[in-house]
Structure 1
Amino acid sequence: MEEAEKGEIHERNTNSSHSGATEEAAGLLIDDLILEILSRLPVRSLHRFKCVSVPWRHLIADPANCKKLPQTLAGFLYFTTDDGGDHHHFASVSGGAAPFDPSFPCLQPNKYKDMAQVDACNGLLLYRGSNKKMAYWNWNWAEDDFRFVVCNPVTGRWVELPPSPQTPENRFSCTAGLAFDPVVSSHFYVLQFEQIFEGSYITSVNIYSSRTGAWTRRDSGMVEKVILCSFSKYVFVCGMMYTVGSLNDKHEYVLLAVDMEGKVWKTIRVPNGPGIGAIGLSQGCLHYSVDSMVRIDDNNESLVSEITLWCLKDHDSEEFVLKHTANTNKLMSMTGKKYRVVEIHPHCDTIFLVSCGGDTLVEYDMQHQKVGCILNLEKDSIQKFLPYVPLFQKSLAEVDEQ
């Protein structure tokens, strides 16, 4: 009898052991399947799923899974300048430390004496490396011996581009943009626009393709003459590069759009406002936000600071759709400061405003009209901000200088 009981107990323990092992294996399999599904979702949905359960939250937050899952906005690159030159900074939206050194020290001082932030796109950064110190207001790059450098700060990998072509007729080169979409390809483009002189209209564009490793030059194909705005922001979406400019002698702001071959050029009127608005890629569409002062009574005695957020949903129709309107008087009364829009969140209807003094960056939810994080900035900051979203991709267009 005792032997029978012992056998039964042993059998139960064995079955329990096998059952536990099976459940553990099934749990691992389920985690792999969940990760595979989550990796295909938009980042906004991904972060909502953190609320499903504690195991899901741990699964999504696990650093080992970051390479598989889409990433959200980490913060903004910006810089300050003094007699010692430019100083690079990072404003983290989570309040934590910068995920990398924004001055990219692996290239200084061994390779370049000066590194200037130019653009950012989907995890890659574009710098202008120079062999001499250049004042930030001197945008005539043709006077400088420089090279463009594209890098991924997560991996530390970088690529130095060959010199861009220059012609005697278009010697003033003032601005450039980076085009990269990891969903489509590991290859990137750099577009460098040229003018005859500062403040004149765009005459041509030099386009670098990492696929060919070479530059091509294209003359402007536009009838309308467009002057690019200072510190122009670039947005790459649906194979087109967009930036803001003004029509010559009309004081009318437009989007200038160019394809990656320099064959398609077009202009799109932006919503009216007293000044230049901010553009950004958000939720897969190009967005435009502008702030203005609006009178609210018949006696024209009261003014409201108003911000509007627009979306270019259909690129073929070239029409903006109004998404949100917000009153920022409450924000200004709370802080005693005035603000202007500088950036748009890539994954939700949230904008970022910088104070006119340039010492704070404020997150504002347009959908719920709520103030989010308020970031303190370095004094005397130059008010050009580059959004950064980490990219856990090992290769850099199949080319690596290291």
Structure 2
Amino acid sequence: MEEAEKGEVFERNTKPWLDSHPGETSDAAGVFTDDIILEILSRLPARSVHRFKCVSVPGRDLITDPANRKKLPQALAGFLYMSFRSVHHHHFASVSGGAAPFDPSVPYLQPNKYKDMEQVDACNGLLLYRGCTKNLPPWDWKEDDCRFVVCNPATGSWVELPPQPQLQEPVKGRSRVAGLAFDPTVSSHFHVLRFEEADSSSVTGVSIYSSRTGAWSHRDRAMAEEVTLSYSTRCIFAGGVLYLMGSLQSTNNDHVLLAVDMAGKVWKTISVPYPRRFAMIGSSQGCLHYAIASVSDNNNILVSKIELWCLKDCDSKEWVLKHTASIDKIMGMTMKNYRVIGIHPDCNTIFLVPCGGHTLLPYDMQHQKVGCILNLEKNSTQRFLPYVPLFSESLADANGR
């Protein structure tokens, strides 16, 4: 049974007693104490928890209590993204209809030290930034002038990572792609992986920062295949493995999924559906998902559609097609082409941005419905980072407030 189904079963079974006597919490507590309910809710997907708030006043109060909030999974709040005018400007697109849950410019991250900061990655409530100490455009940033910073904006805690040790030949190369790996259900510690590339652009190895050790380590590429990473790729952490999109040089640059474990010892390439087309990966319902726009010929009529696939596990490398949806109707209404920029962490909703446009459009793949369209800032970058609040006080090695 999928997580979403478990949530629906719980809602059906608990709604009668909350609904029938919403004021008689003491009687209900005789059957289900608050501790038992919280324990059950903590094991459900965030979407079910937030739907449960609508069942009754006692249920809402139980979930929104600050003392309980830390124990429960949180829903997607929105997407972080940037625009660029001389320096990076940081924005937040709220999918809940409310205001941004924090100042997206995160002003507490040493503003006197960093002249500019760029958003790099987000993972389970933590954010990864790269800060530059000099007034330079991003394309002129040098390694010696930059530092990585990991923060939890829900609590205001942050940690600046130490500089990476300089690599020696022949492993020395450039680095464009970095990712954050963090699972609060497993540990309060996190990893940052920064991939090194040779002059030919193929991956040669990875530098790994562990908050447990407080130090960087290096691992050479542990596979024979040569993979070139896409600069626009997002790193996705799921099931203890970091995934990112690349191109396999031995197959005329077909797209593949590159998977690396947190020790940098296990490297795998995974074939993907439609290896010649651009796709978006994301973590949803505990599994890696893959959304791709494709065009099919239906009786000589070109039909635009989006497919949502799920990777069963890293070992089997098997993909399962979950949903297919036509976007011809959406394209017909707006006269624009769309690209997928994100996948909802708790349900089968994808997020679309029109090419050359400035709106964010949620699309429920399962029910074929368009959600509330959000306006975006002009001159936005291509990267959108999903943000789910984490109210845990602990951030391993935090040296900020």
TM-score by length of 2: 0.88
Q: Is residue 160 from structure 1 mapped to residue 163 from structure 2 by the alignment? A: no
1:258 to partner: Cα distance: 0.8
Alignment of 1:98-137 (within 5 A): 98-136=100-138
SS at the partner of 2:381? Answer: strand
Q: Which residue of 1 aligns with 2:58?
A: 55
Q: Which residue of 1 aligns with 2:372?
A: 373
Task: Point out where structure 2 has 5 or more consecutive residues left out of the alignment.
Answer: 1-22
User: Can you list the C-alpha shifts for 1:151-177, whole angstroms capped at 9, x where unaligned?
Assistant: 000110100111112325423111100
1:46 to partner: Cα distance: 1.6
1:342 to partner: Cα distance: 1.2
Residue identity in the other structure for 1:261: A
Q: Is the alpha carbon distance of 1:164 and 1:327 closer, same or farther for their aligned partners in structure 2, counting shifts above 3 Å?
A: same
TM-score by length of 1: 0.88
Q: Is residue 69 from structure 1 mapped to residue 72 from structure 2 by the alignment? A: yes
Q: Which residue of 1 aligns with 2:342?
A: 343
Among 69, 94, 97, the residue aligned to 1:95: 97
Task: Provide the C-alpha distance between the structure 2 equivalents of 1:153 and 1:22, rounded to a whole number of angstroms.
Answer: 34
1:22 to partner: Cα distance: 11
Task: Provide the C-alpha distance between the structure 2 equivalents of 1:344 and 1:64, rounded to a whole number of angstroms.
Answer: 30
Task: Provide the C-alpha distance between the structure 2 equivalents of 1:21 and 1:95, rounded to a whole number of angstroms.
Answer: 32
Task: Provide the C-alpha distance between the structure 1 equivalents of 2:261 and 2:271, rounded to a whole number of angstroms.
Answer: 18
Q: Which residue of 1 aligns with 2:147?
A: 147
Q: Which residue of 1 aligns with 2:388?
A: 389
Q: Which residue of 1 aligns with 2:326?
A: 327
Report how many aligned residue pairs link the two structures: 376
Q: Is the alpha carbon distance of 1:22 and 1:187 closer, same or farther for their aligned partners in structure 2, counting shifts above 3 Å?
A: closer
Residue identity in the other structure for 2:332: S
Is the 1:142–1:171 Cα contact (8 Å) retained in structure 2? no
User: Can you list the C-alpha shifts for 1:338-380, whole angstroms capped at 9, x where unaligned?
Assistant: 1011110000011011110140111000001110121110001
Task: Provide the C-alpha distance between the structure 1 equivalents of 2:31 and 2:157, rounded to a whole number of angstroms.
Answer: 33
SS at the partner of 2:353? Answer: strand
Is the 2:160–2:399 Cα contact (8 Å) retained in structure 1? no
SS at the partner of 2:34? Answer: helix
Q: Is the alpha carbon distance of 1:66 and 1:23 closer, same or farther for their aligned partners in structure 2, counting shifts above 3 Å?
A: closer
Q: Which residue of 2 aligns with 1:310?
A: 309
Among 251, 254, 270, the residue aligned to 2:253: 251
Structure 1 or 2, whichever has the larger Rg, is 1
Task: Provide the C-alpha distance between the structure 1 equivalents of 2:257 and 2:141, rounded to a whole number of angstroms.
Answer: 23
Q: Is the alpha carbon distance of 1:27 and 1:65 closer, same or farther for their aligned partners in structure 2, counting shifts above 3 Å?
A: farther
Q: Is the alpha carbon distance of 1:143 and 1:61 closer, same or farther for their aligned partners in structure 2, counting shifts above 3 Å?
A: closer
Task: Provide the C-alpha distance between the structure 1 equivalents of 2:256 and 2:89, rounded to a whole number of angstroms.
Answer: 32
Task: Provide the C-alpha distance between the structure 2 equivalents of 1:245 and 1:362, rounded to a whole number of angstroms.
Answer: 26
Q: Which residue of 2 aligns with 1:286?
A: 288
Task: Provide the C-alpha distance between the structure 2 equivalents of 1:276 and 1:26, rounded to a whole number of angstroms.
Answer: 52
| Sequence identity percentage | 65
RMSD (CA atoms): 2.3
User: Can you list the C-alpha shifts for 1:375-401, whole angstroms capped at 9, x where unaligned?
Assistant: 110001001000000001101115433
Task: Provide the C-alpha distance between the structure 2 equivalents of 1:245 and 1:355, rounded to a whole number of angstroms.
Answer: 23
Is the 1:76–1:387 Cα contact (8 Å) retained in structure 2? yes
Task: Provide the C-alpha distance between the structure 2 equivalents of 1:257 and 1:360, rounded to a whole number of angstroms.
Answer: 32
SS at the partner of 2:58? Answer: helix
Q: Which residue of 2 aligns with 1:6?
A: none
Task: Provide the C-alpha distance between the structure 2 equivalents of 1:65 and 1:161, rounded to a whole number of angstroms.
Answer: 31
Is the 2:254–2:275 Cα contact (8 Å) retained in structure 1? no
Q: Is residue 206 from structure 1 mapped to residue 214 from structure 2 by the alignment? A: no
